[in-house]
């Protein structure tokens, strides 16, 4: 295995703790410890593989890229420049913004549930590509009662005014009188809400509970909570063979 060593100031910068000048000042002031020892030399070359350091009395693990799942609450915007509500990045540690962490796709401000975020451009592009056919599972609460006719319309396809062909749910099942589970692959703008409206109902609330094989239940996240994704969890985001 090839070892990867970097100077300590570059490590802190790469992890989103600020410009190199500021990171050097943190090191000079004795704010960084590694293995219980103050790391006072910003030019020291440190092995990044498995590196754990303490800064601001908090322990951090070096991560080349960030892969995060957030259980998004309502009334947060999936934008780096929110206009009417707080941005989802305000829920995460401040240094993640320095790392250019971005949402993978978007959920409406009033939609809750699983949102992926990363600073890995290739990962964001791959997850956002419609060619990957990754299913996303939603639970929709409807204004009018769920009927068999509604479910059949969603499964067979409904025509949206700006789409060339009808859009259909991959699967759709009733949960109770006013809730149904919808599985989609396309990810069009406001798709669930617009499909329900086209089928003669109205979406009163919407939650995304899974992306690919990764579910909120599996992650155990309450609303507003987030976690790093392990390689095993990332693998669940891949479409089934």
Digitized pLDDT (tens) for each residue of the chain, 241 residues in all:
445 889 999 999 999 999 999 999 999 999 999 988 999 999 989 999 999 999 988 999 999 999 999 999 999 988 777 678 888 999 999 899 899 999 998 888 899 999 999 999 999 988 887 777 789 999 999 999 999 999 999 999 988 888 888 889 999 999 999 999 999 987 777 889 999 999 999 999 999 999 999 999 999 999 999 999 999 999 998 765 4
Does 5-61 carry CATH code 3.10.290.10?
yes
The span from the CA of 65 to the CA of 204, in Å, is 36
CA distances from 100 to 30, 121, 150, 206, 239 (A): 27, 10, 41, 28, 26
Residues designated catalytic: 108
Under CATH, what is the fold of the domain 135-211? Answer: Alpha-Beta Plaits (3.30.70)
The span from the CA of 26 to the CA of 89, in Å, is 24
What are the boundaries of each domain within the chain?
A: 5-61, 67-130+216-235, 135-211
Same fold, 5-61 and 135-211: no
Structure tokens, 54: 């303490």
Does 67-130+216-235 carry CATH code 3.30.70.580?
yes
pLDDT in tens, 32-91: 999 889 999 999 899 999 999 999 889 999 999 999 999 999 999 887 776 788 889 999
Positive or negative, the CA dihedral 122, 126, 129, 131 is positive
């Amino acid at each position: 295995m090839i070892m990867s060593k970097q100077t300590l100031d570059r490590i802190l910068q790469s992890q989103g703790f600020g410009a190199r000048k500021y990171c050097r000042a943190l090191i000079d002031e004795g704010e960084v410890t590694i293995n219980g020892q103050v790391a006072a030399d910003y030019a020291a070359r440190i092995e990044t593989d498995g590196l754990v350091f303490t800064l601001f009395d908090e322990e951090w693990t070096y991560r080349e890229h960030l892969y995060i799942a957030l259980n998004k609450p309502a009334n947060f915007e999936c934008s780096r420049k929110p206009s009417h509500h707080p941005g989802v990045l305000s829920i995460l540690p401040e240094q993640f913004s320095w790392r250019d962490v971005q949402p993978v796709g978007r959920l409406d401000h009033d939609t809750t549930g699983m949102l992926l975020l990363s600073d890995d451009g290739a990962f964001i592009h791959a997850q956002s590509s419609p060619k990957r056919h990754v299913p996303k599972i939603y639970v929709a609460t409807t204004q009018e009662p769920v009927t068999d006719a509604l479910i059949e319309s969603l499964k067979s396809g409904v025509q949206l005014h700006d789409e060339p062909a009808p859009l259909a749910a991959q699967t759709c099942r009733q949960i109770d009188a006013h809730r149904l589970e919808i599985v989609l692959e396309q990810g069009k703008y406001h798709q669930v809400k617009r499909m329900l409206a086209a089928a003669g109902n109205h979406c009163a609330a919407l939650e995304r509970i899974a992306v690919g094989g990764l579910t909120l239940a599996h992650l155990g996240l309450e609303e507003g909570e987030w976690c790093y994704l392990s390689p095993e969890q990332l693998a669940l985001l891949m479409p089934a063979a």
